[in-house]
Amino acid sequence: MRYFFFCTIFISSWFVFFLGSNFAFAEVRDYAHAIVTTSTGKKISVEVADTVEKRSLGLGKRSGLENGWGMLFVFEKRKQHGFWMKNMQFPLDIIWLENHRIVHILRNVQPEKSGVIPPVMTPPVAGNFVLEIDSGRADELKLQVGQRLKYQF
């Protein structure tokens, strides 16, 4: 009986670890693409994180972004969505938006340090979109609070 219990636990764990994680990871890699256009007409290609799984992984565990790309997080509800740099390997600019209007920008947010739990960054106002781009890109694009962005899904 003890052997049967051990085998059941071992096989179940193996199934969840190998098959379950691959299934979830494969689902997360399938991002839709969109275009974000700034008020000056500059275009940013983005991957769209529009599910809990995609938003949870975000840009974590990647070595960087494709040149000129970003990630647009889409939320169903308008609130002060918190972000952190868990599993990040490169710095970002993080832009919170309420619909199309920029409401908060954090520039040059650094990845987590090994062994340190990264802080959660929360904007002072509510929003329903968050744009993550390479560090320094918000300055290059001259992005400021109050500006409007357009989305083409």
Q: What's the average model confidence in pLDDT over 120-128?
A: 98
Residues 65-107: pLDDT tens digits? Answer: 999 999 999 999 999 999 999 999 999 999 999 999 999 999 9
Q: Which residue has the tokens 């670890």?
A: 17
pLDDT at 29: 64
Model-level pTM? 0.81
Residues 42-56: pLDDT tens digits? Answer: 999 999 999 999 999
Are 36 and 44 spatial neighbours (Cβ–Cβ below 8 Å)? yes
pLDDT at 16: 34
* pLDDT over 60 (residue 25): no
Identify the band that residue 115 occupies on the pLDDT scale cut at 50, 70 and 90: confident
